[in-house]
Each structure stands twice: as structure tokens, then as C-alpha cells.
Structure 1
Amino acid sequence: MIIGKEIHKYRDAITVGISELVQIRSIMGTPEPGKPFGAGVDRALQYMLSLAESLGFEVTNVDGYAGHAEYGQGEEIAAVLVHLDTVEEGEGWTFPPLGGLIENGRIIGRGASDNKGPAVVALYALKTLMDLGITGNRRLRLIFGTNEEESGMKDLDYYFGREQLPVMAFAPDAGYPIFNVEMGSMNVVFSSEQESSSTKTQLTILSLKGGNMLTLIPETCTASLSLAQLTDSQVANFHAAVNLQTNLSVTYDGSSVMVLTAGSELLADSPTGSRNAIVNMVTFLCGQGLTTNWDSLLHFLHSKIGAEKGGQSLGIACSDSFSGALVVYLRTISCDLHRAEALCNIRYPVSHDGAGILSAVDGLAGKHGVRTELTRHLHPVYVPETHPVIVRLSRAYKKITGDEAVLLRMGAGTYARKMRNNGVAFGAGLTGGVDTHVHQADEFVFIDDMMQHAEICLQGMYELLID
């Protein structure tokens, strides 16, 4: 039975729902009683629970961490998992980031595609199943999370500590067809103490900053450097070295402070297509033969990470046939006169042990006078092609698109990581679809694209519900 097109009657309601939800600023905020991730995130949760209730569903709010709307009957639960929190707006918008503007067939605003659009679609897909009176031997639950973008998805840890774990689930938070592999992902912060005395430091780093948590590869890195302790010949040599760099721009703050900004470069053999700006800056600073106030950290980053993508110098290179090779990304760096730290993301194959990888990195960093801190660890996902959730979603995908559902892998993370290998990422991005500026300025969704996703999503939910 093919029912995907039945959802088109809710096109206008879906459009309005996405627009209204986008207008709620739902970034992680200060915890309040009953609002563990802040008032804004809670407003988004309350909006969706109220909307679901108005559509005739029983809803549950699990202490503000997450909530759900449910349809059907039976002991087992199948689920669709969506998140209502977003990253911060960031800079560079040409439209109001919280406007929810509907213009030229698009809905524009933070969260429109990640993940508020798919959240509203999933609710109306559930409503369509109710309208059609389709039931099976299990319940179908739409779970609204509130902390996917931050802190390792603690919302679902709390939720599943109190609610039944679904036997099958999908998260419409990636693309089509089906992502059955999500690599393990660790955020590791490297830091060090200043070891150079003022008499030994030649080049003083007043500040060094690059990258942000909105983007994987930092596009710029800026260093404010004091040249006051250099000799005249060292100053001349430093200026000459700067002038030879095509990826450095320079300004001055007074007579002895130079401000350098490094950009990124396109690299054909890079998994992200670029060599990041932090690597370019660190490479330049470490190549001048001058002591700095942060030598331990900079030289560790330069010699053990640098432009490598596979963790070879860190001693953690590995791969498997399911997920490919381990990948290392230097994401952010922040230094001033008192503290220096850099955040590195390590994505490792599903068949390898994250604890062993972290132990190897920690031991090597310690030998270089650098401390490590694990700030987030998302364990890998691997769901075999014979699992019922893949069989059912593959059937749904082919019924709507006519194409076979190819199994894909990713390094990023979705709520599938909390499903103990019983869930996958399925949608919402269409195969060959447009870039909707996820985590960037002017994020949007095309309404037509969202409705194509809605057909597949509804069919997928139907296949999970029936036997």
C-alpha cells in the first residue's frame, strides 16, 4: 500500500507550522526548573506538544528533556526522532534569522531544515496515519528532543532512562536514502601551560583565535602578535616570511603588534575539500624558528596533527570496511596571555574502540606537555542491512521514489546514536538536493522539497507501523 501522497492535504499547515517554530529561538540556555536546557528550547517543545495535542494526540513531557506524541497500540514501539534545538544564528544573514519568512517557495530561518522542518512534517505524517485509521501491532511514537546540538544528546539519555526504547526508529536529520553507519565521534580539547619565561619568548602571542562550533572546517584564524622582543633583523625576516604567504593577510595595531589572518585552502584529496585555516596559521608560526609563549601546544598541533587527515602522527590511524578510515579535524583554537586550547574532532570506524584511541592520544600529548580533555563522545552506529528497520525503510523509499535505497555512512551524528543499533538516519535531505545552509547564514527549506520528503517520511512511518 502506497500512502505517501496523502500528506499533501497538510501542505499549508506544514508551511505555517515550520514558519512559526522557526520564530522560536531555541538554542541551549541557562537551566531553569523544568527547563533543563533553557527557556527558549522549552518554548519550542511546548509549541510542538501543544500542536500535537490540538491534532488529537496524547502527549507526554518528560521533565522538559524531551517529549512525545503517540499513535496506535501494542507492546512494542517504533519511533521517529526529531530535535527542536538549534545552533546559534551566527553572522552573515541577509534575512531575519528568526523571521520564519515564507518567500519564493522557501521558508527561511535558523532551524528550517535542521531540524524543525522535518519535525513538523513528521507530526503531520502521524496525523495522516490517524486520519486513514491505519494501525498495526505496535505504537508509533514521535519523539521531540531538545539537546541534539550540544552536550552529547543528554536529552535522550534522560528520556530513555524513563521511557521504553523503540524496537525500530529513524531520525530525519541527514539525507536519503539510509545512513546505517555513523562513525564514532570524540571532541578532544588540547591545552598547555605557558612554559617560556619572558626572557626566552621572542614572539609573544597576545591572542590566537580560529574556528567555531557551527562549522567543521575553520575558514579563518587570526593571531595578534607582539614583535617587541625581536631584533631588527628578526623583524625584517618575519615581515619577509609573511609577504611570501599567499594565504595570510596582515594589519597592524600600533608599531609592534602585527595581526595576521590565515584563510583556508582547497585541497582535492581532503575529505572536506579544504586545509583549514588553523592548520595554516600554526604551520606558519612554527616555521619561523622563533620561541613563543605557547610552544608546547603549537608544536604538538603542528607535528602530530598538521594537515594530516588520518591520525598517522597521532598513532591512531585505522579503518574498516563498514565506515572507512579514521579522520581527524582541528576545529577551533583559542589562546591569550593566560590560557591556550585547541579542540580536535576525531571520527573513528565503527569496529574500533574509542577508549583505546583516546588513551593513545592522551599518552602522546602528555609526552609533549599537553593535556587532553574529552568533552563529547558519541559512540558509533552500525545497523546491518538485514535489520527490520532497514528492510522496511528501503521498501518505503523504493515505493515513493522508484529507486533502490543505497546504504550510506557519515561522520556526523544523529539521534540514531541513542537507539543501540536499532535506528538509522533517513532523510530529510533529498538525493541530489540543494544546499540548505545548515548551521550557516540564511538557512532555508524549499517547501516543494519538504513535501517530497514528507511523502517518503509518511511511507516510512507506515512501514514501521504495520507488520
Structure 2
Amino acid sequence: MYRKEIEEYIESHKQEMIEDICTLCRINSEKMPYREGMPYGPGAFEALNEALDLAESYGFSITNYDNYVGTADLNDKEHQLDILAHLDVVPAGEGWKETEPFEPVVKGDKLFGRGTADDKGPAVAALYAMRAVKELNIPLEKNVRLILGTDEECGSSDIAHYYSIEKEAPMTFSPDGSFPVVNTEKGGLNGHFTAEWTASDLLPKLVSIDAGTKVNVVPGKANAVVKGLDAKTLEHAAAECEKRTGIRFELKLDEDTAVITAIGESAHASLPEEGNNALTGLLSFLTELPLAECEQMTMIRRLLELIPHGDTKGEALGIAMEDELSGSLTLAFSLLKVTESGIEGTFDSRCPVCATEENVLQVVRRNMAEKGFTLHNDSMKPPHHVDGNSEFVKTLLNAYESYTGRKGECVSMGGGTYVHELKNGVAFGASMPGTDNRMHGADEYAVIEELIVSAKIFAQVIVDLCS
């Protein structure tokens, strides 16, 4: 019903939709320090208000929830469907070649730029789906609300604020994953650990390590400072380590001090096997250098025994597992700071439905304690699952099949979305199966036709669920 009208409308507004996406993607909306009235800093504030201005200009009723979250309502009828998207982005990072991170550009069939796929492009596709239904005057019996958050990448405190005020809709989907329908999301353990020791003055020595930007990002770069080694020794060890790990090392020497930068390949922490972790590569390199024996180096060797380079399933930690519903446990060592007398690190583990505190958290705590590390976590994030046979999920799958000609089915993912805490929430779009949008990496992009088809699918879902 109304498919022909929906398709014609979205196609006729294709260029306008791309321009609106670019407007939002020019704003660096990564989380920044709090300012009065700006809970996540000026970038997120600007992106939210720009998006709300867009929605209001298209005739929607908007509400700003203290600059944490903004909403756009299609009508004032009974609440039926929420579409939950976000406007914040991960840091730009390095290695961009197609364009500058916040200068979105169309090349061929792709739109490059930070946020084009995660999640500003899909958010605008949802807005245009609502616009299509509104401007086509398709009669609805119930309301759909677009919810635009600004802290999805750093803990979702924005959406916690929103749901402290508003009730969850009977049905919610987030266009922050991939098609067909993600009805199962893994649980997780962001393992935060520390250790301390007595500093040593023996040379040569490791002065410091600083690696990682976000807990949910596999580090593409990692830095260390060493003292007391000559260039020849460092260069030889770097070449040998690169052969074995694929990690490249840049060395800057100033008298007896060297700054080492390990360069790997960044990836989303839910798919650590798609990257090459510069942090663990750097640890491998450091343990091969002829540094003076001390407690610091003993602890680094022990840490590498627990999370060796290339181990993305938690095998050395003793927590490798998988189940049919949600797949394998994954592990990404994402943050590390080391001084001459202490260490602080965090790893990101995405845990399948079969994972429990007994077979993951307690095992990690015990195995790390045996090596001298203290794990500070008291709990894990539980998995999320919605019945794939519900009318809600079936409606989503039917719309997907109708507009793509592909088979609709439920899938699981390691990355958690906004709907993880919602009773009847699933991830739905906006990328097609097999598309690698390079989310959280350099040269992030959205396939333009996938955004267009997503807008059509979302519009059909609104009609089917709310009319």
C-alpha cells in the first residue's frame, strides 16, 4: 500500500536529502567537555539544533530535551513507533584519503565523511521517510516519533535522560546497524584494570605508553617512549616485529630518548578481527627490546600473556565461547596507559547470550589477579533479544524484502545500539548486508542508494505500523 507514491517521493527528493546529510556531517559532533546548556559540548549541541531546525522546517512538531535529545513527531495521536537515531560521532582519527573527515563529499555512488553512515545519514533517511508520509497525506491512526540523541558513542547517557522523562514506545527501531533486522545484541564487559609497582632507574627503560582513543575502537595507533637504546637496535627490532605482526613502527630519536609510534589498522571493537591492533603490536615490540629487567617490564609481559597480539576471542584470558544465536565472544584491547610505576587499561569484550558473570567476569578477574592485575568491574552488560516471530519484526522484514528483493531474516551483532535496554527495540538498517561502511575508521562512507532505499523502507514501515 502506497509503495508507488513513496518511491516517487523519495526519488524526487534524493538530492535534497543528500544535502541535508552533508549539512549535519560538516559539524564535528564528537563528545566534548561540558559547557553550560551543552551537556556534550558545542559540537553535539550544534548538530542537535541544526537537525531540529531541519525537522521543524519540514512541518514536524519538535521538542528539545535539555540539549540531550531532540524529537520530531509526525502527529499528535497515540504513541506507536519510535525511530531512535544519533547525531554524535566518534573522533575523526587519522588516515583519511578520500576527503577530510568533516568535509562530506560524493564520489561515485558513495558519500564520504564522518557520520555519513553512523548515524547522521540514517537519521536523515528516517526524517525523509516521515516527510514522505506527511507530505503524501497518507492517513495514520497513530504517531511515529524520530528521536535524535547526542551521546550514543560514549555511553548513551542522553537516552537515559530521555527515558527518565518519556515512556518507551510499544515498538522501536534504530537505523544504527544493518539490514535485515538485528534482534539479538551481545552483552559486554568493558574490563577496566590496574596494577602498581616500584619504579626502577635502571637503563635502558620504558618511560611510558599511551594508546587508544575510545573503549569501543581498536587502536590504529599507539605510542611509547623509551630511554637508553640506540637507533640501530630499535630499527632492527621494529623491522622484525613488523614482519611478524604487520604493525609498522615510526621512530623519533632525541639523544638517548626515542618516541615510538606503532601504526596498525583501526576497527570497531565489535569486529576486532577486521583491524590490526596497534596497542598489542606495540606491547609485542617492547617485550622484544633489550630493556632492563624490572617490575614494569614483568607486568607488561604478563599483560601480553593475557591478551596477546591477534587474540580477538579472549582465548588467553580463558573466556573464548560462542553460541548459535549470537556467535562468538570478541575481545579488543582498546585503552592503555603505562607509567614508570603503574598501569591502567581497558578492553572491550562483546559477549554472546551464553556468557554469564560466572563464565566471563569471574574468570577474567581470577586470571588477571594471578598475574598481578586488579579488575575493577562488578557487573557485565546483559545481552538483548527480541522475538523474531513478533508482528513488529515480521512487518520490518516484509518491508525490507519488498523494497530490496532480498531475503529478510533476523541476525545478531556484537555492537550494542540505542535499543539495547528497550523491551521491544531492534536495529533496522541502514546499510545492506555485505557493505562495509568503515564505521569508526578512516574514510567512513554511506552508499547513497542504500540511504535512499532505507528512506523508502522506513516510510513503508511507518505506514504499515501506524495506519
Give the gaps of 5 or more residues in structure 1.
none
Please give the residue correspondences for 1:33-112 in structure 2 after superposition, counting only pairs within 5 Å.
33-72=36-75, 74-94=77-97, 95-102=99-106, 104=108, 106-112=110-116
Q: Report the equivalent of 1:428.
A: 430
Q: Report the equivalent of 2:446.
A: 445
> Compared with structure 1, are the counterparts of its residues 249 and 40 closer, same or farther at alpha carbon in structure 2 (3 Å cutoff)?
closer
1:184 is displaced (CA, Å) by 1.1
The answer to whether the 8 Å contact 1:172/1:426 transfers is yes
The answer to whether the 8 Å contact 1:330/1:344 transfers is yes
Relative to the length of structure 2, the TM-score reads 0.86
The answer to whether the 8 Å contact 1:77/1:165 transfers is no
1:275 is displaced (CA, Å) by 5.3
- Correspondent of 2:158 among 124, 146, 155: 155
> Compared with structure 1, are the counterparts of its residues 192 and 350 closer, same or farther at alpha carbon in structure 2 (3 Å cutoff)?
same
Relative to the length of structure 1, the TM-score reads 0.86
> Compared with structure 1, are the counterparts of its residues 203 and 387 closer, same or farther at alpha carbon in structure 2 (3 Å cutoff)?
farther
Greater Cα offset, 393-402 or 317-326: 317-326
Secondary structure, in 3 states, of the residue corresponding to 2:395?
helix
Q: Report the equivalent of 1:225.
A: 226
Aligned pairs, how many? 453
1:115 is displaced (CA, Å) by 0.9
Identity of aligned residues (%): 30
The answer to whether the 8 Å contact 1:183/1:349 transfers is yes
- Correspondent of 1:325 among 314, 328, 341: 328
Please give the residue correspondences for 1:154-173 in structure 2 after superposition, counting only pairs within 5 Å.
154-173=157-176
What amino acid sits opposite 2:273 in the alignment?
A: T
- Correspondent of 1:304 among 279, 287, 306: 306
Please give the residue correspondences for 1:62-461 in structure 2 after superposition, counting only pairs within 5 Å.
62-72=65-75, 74-94=77-97, 95-102=99-106, 104=108, 106-150=110-154, 152-198=155-201, 201=202, 203-213=204-214, 216-227=217-228, 244-245=240-241, 246=243, 247=245, 249=249, 251=251, 253-254=253-254, 256-262=256-262, 264=264, 272-273=273-274, 276-286=277-287, 291-292=293-294, 294-295=296-297, 297-306=299-308, 307-337=310-340, 339-354=342-357, 357-374=360-377, 378-420=381-423, 422-433=424-435, 435-461=436-462
What amino acid sits opposite 2:348 in the alignment?
A: N
The answer to whether the 8 Å contact 1:73/1:137 transfers is no
The answer to whether the 8 Å contact 1:300/1:365 transfers is no
What amino acid sits opposite 1:189 in the alignment?
A: H
The answer to whether the 8 Å contact 2:29/2:88 transfers is yes
> Compared with structure 1, are the counterparts of its residues 329 and 135 closer, same or farther at alpha carbon in structure 2 (3 Å cutoff)?
same
Deviation string 1:109-148 (CA, Å, 9 cap, x unpaired) is 3212211111111111111112233344432111111101
Secondary structure, in 3 states, of the residue corresponding to 1:15?
helix
The answer to whether the 8 Å contact 2:357/2:379 transfers is no
The separation in 1 between residues aligned to 2:94 and 2:263, in whole angstroms, is: 17
> Compared with structure 1, are the counterparts of its residues 32 and 226 closer, same or farther at alpha carbon in structure 2 (3 Å cutoff)?
closer
Secondary structure, in 3 states, of the residue corresponding to 2:71?
strand
The separation in 2 between residues aligned to 1:348 and 1:212, in whole angstroms, is: 22
The answer to whether the 8 Å contact 2:199/2:341 transfers is no
The answer to whether the 8 Å contact 2:192/2:344 transfers is yes
The answer to whether the 8 Å contact 1:202/1:291 transfers is no
The separation in 1 between residues aligned to 2:149 and 2:18, in whole angstroms, is: 21
Greater Cα offset, 84-93 or 60-69: 84-93
1:263 is displaced (CA, Å) by 5.1
1:27 is displaced (CA, Å) by 1.6
Please give the residue correspondences for 1:9-20 in structure 2 after superposition, counting only pairs within 5 Å.
9-20=12-23
The separation in 1 between residues aligned to 2:159 and 2:123, in whole angstroms, is: 16
> Compared with structure 1, are the counterparts of its residues 275 and 415 closer, same or farther at alpha carbon in structure 2 (3 Å cutoff)?
same
The separation in 1 between residues aligned to 2:344 and 2:428, in whole angstroms, is: 36
The separation in 1 between residues aligned to 2:361 and 2:381, in whole angstroms, is: 13
What amino acid sits opposite 1:253 in the alignment?
A: L
Greater Cα offset, 292-301 or 173-182: 292-301
The separation in 2 between residues aligned to 1:399 and 1:212, in whole angstroms, is: 41
What amino acid sits opposite 1:226 in the alignment?
A: K
Deviation string 1:377-422 (CA, Å, 9 cap, x unpaired) is 65422112112321110111111112221222211121121323x1
Secondary structure, in 3 states, of the residue corresponding to 2:273?
coil
> Compared with structure 1, are the counterparts of its residues 295 and 461 closer, same or farther at alpha carbon in structure 2 (3 Å cutoff)?
farther
> Compared with structure 1, are the counterparts of its residues 82 and 280 closer, same or farther at alpha carbon in structure 2 (3 Å cutoff)?
same
